[in-house]
Structure 1
Amino acid sequence: MAKPPIAPMRPPCQLYLITPPVLPDIAAFAVALAAALDAGEVAALQIRLKDADDATVLAAVSVLKPIAQARGVAVILNDRPDLAARSGCDGVHLGQGDASVAEGRRIMGPDAMIGVTCHDSRELAMDAAEAGADYVAFGAFFPTDTKQTLHRPDPDILGIWQETVEIPCVAIGGITAVTAGRLAHAGADFVAVSAAVWGHPAGPGVAVRELTEAIADSA
């Protein structure tokens, strides 16, 4: 296996939002999303609707994509490169049981952003990088109710990755404003958050401000 190129100096860590797995009221969530994105700098939004049918996913993308893209936020669809390409998303996030990076690239084209879940495995991440992924995601770093998780990587994996490999890494799983700075400091290029934003008692705007401040303070 060829060794990936040594990483250059990287930009500061950024926030990556993930939708809840179910959106019973898409209009209400659209308002919450706008409030979140207006509250601080967000790099990407992953639309992750597990177990939803194609029509539901496409309808959600049609509502949420313009809100995000109007604010310069990349829109990533979870699992489905076919629907991501059909709906004009900026990229797709693939799990280990989803389409391959090559298949995602074939469907979405050379300019699409393709991310890959790699759990706690640098080997899986290296394979994804070699296959042409644009980023890899490690996690879950903390317990989370958003999805069932089996892996608990050590934060050291982020620093090791950042020091040796060019493509960015995302930290995911149970992250809050209390822990986001720790993972950013450890070497995450992006910190992915879901429940800590949408379930924040003071609202998603406050949550994003707290998270972006925590990330900035870690630099």
Structure 2
Amino acid sequence: MSEQVDSPRLYLVAWADIAERTLREALQAGDVACLLLRGATGASAPLVRAAQETGVAVLVQDDAALAETLQADGVHLGPGGNVKATRKRLGDEGIVGACCGNSRHAAMLAGEAGADYVAFAGREDEPGAAANPEILGWWQVMMELPCVAMGDVALADVGPLAEAGADFVALGSAVWDHSEGPAVAVAKATRQLQAVQRD
């Protein structure tokens, strides 16, 4: 995840109490690049393996030691997380992602410190909102490092956020709470991404 992608891909966010079968079905229903497992513990190893067996990279939140214990692929850091220290701990092989909120400056610093990707979420007036398309577009033009659109992303936002410049679009409750089931939501999101035209 350290170079921009030609075609945008999905990045799923799930809580560690998800059923393994549900997770597998969702991950197999479309083009999912990465899974962020929130609330993971030492008991989350079966979920990590299940995702990795489908070819999906698995990250845990903020905890490099736990990532090593679970043999996860890396760590996703929240705003203010220490990218440099996490990179040192995981080495070159581990994935280090950094959520930078709505801050271009924080994103540039994270990139300089060794992040494999930066994630944007929220806006000036809505911290929990989906990433600001303007920042995604700016990053896509100015920087080589991939960016992820996070925040409260609805299924209908997937295509527009990718068009704006996101290399990966993160979905959480929009997938797991979908009325037709997570697998259907992933398939719909994948179709949106496949329709995105990049110059």
Q: TM-score, normalised by structure 1?
A: 0.83
| Alignment coverage as a number of residue pairs | 195
Give the structure with higher Rg (CA): 1
Query: For residues 128-207 of structure 1, what are the structure 2 equivalents within 5 Å?
Result: 128-140=110-122, 149=127, 153-207=131-185
8 Å CA contact retained: 2:8, 2:193: yes
In structure 2, what residue type is equivalent to 1:13?
Answer: P
**Unpaired segments ≥5 residues, structure 2:** none
Aligned residue for 1:92, secondary structure, equals strand
Output the aligned Cα RMSD: 2.2
Segment of structure 1 superposing worse, 179-188 or 150-159: 150-159
- Shift of residue 83 of structure 1? 0.7
Amino acid at match of 2:147: C
Aligned partners of 2:130 and 2:150 also within 8 Å: no
1:112 and 2:94 equivalent? Answer: yes
Encode CA deviations 1:49-80: one digit per residue, 9 max, x unaligned. 1xxxxxx61112x1111111111100111111
Provide runs of 4+ in structure 1 moved above 2 Å: 148-154
Q: Structure 1 residues 153, 203: closer, same or farther in 2, change over 3 A? A: closer
The equivalences for 1:1-219 within 5 A come to 10-20=5-15, 23=17, 26=18, 29-49=19-39, 57-60=41-44, 62-98=45-81, 100-140=82-122, 149=127, 153-219=131-197
Change (3 A) 1:37 1:94: same
Q: Note if contact 1:120-1:152 (Cα within 8 Å) is conserved in structure 2.
A: no
User: Are 2:9 and 2:32, in contact at CA under 8 Å, matched by a contact in 1?
Assistant: yes
Q: 1:207 to 1:125 in 2, by over 3 A?
A: same
Aligned partner letter, 2:145:
I
Shift of 1:95: 1.1
**Percent same amino acid among aligned pairs?**
42
Residues 77, 93 of structure 1: 8 Å contact kept: yes
Task: Tell whether the 8 Å contact from 1:119 to 1:151 is kept in structure 2 after alignment.
Answer: no
Deviation of 1:9 (Å): 7.0
Query: Per the alignment, do residues 103 and 9 of structure 1 end up closer, same or farther by CA in structure 2, a change over 3 Å counting?
Result: closer
SS in 2 for 1:63: helix
Matching residue's letter, 1:134: D
Task: Name 1:53's counterpart in structure 2.
Answer: none
Question: What does residue 52 of structure 1 align with?
Answer: none
The whole-number CA distance in structure 1 between the counterparts of 2:105 and 2:80 is 16
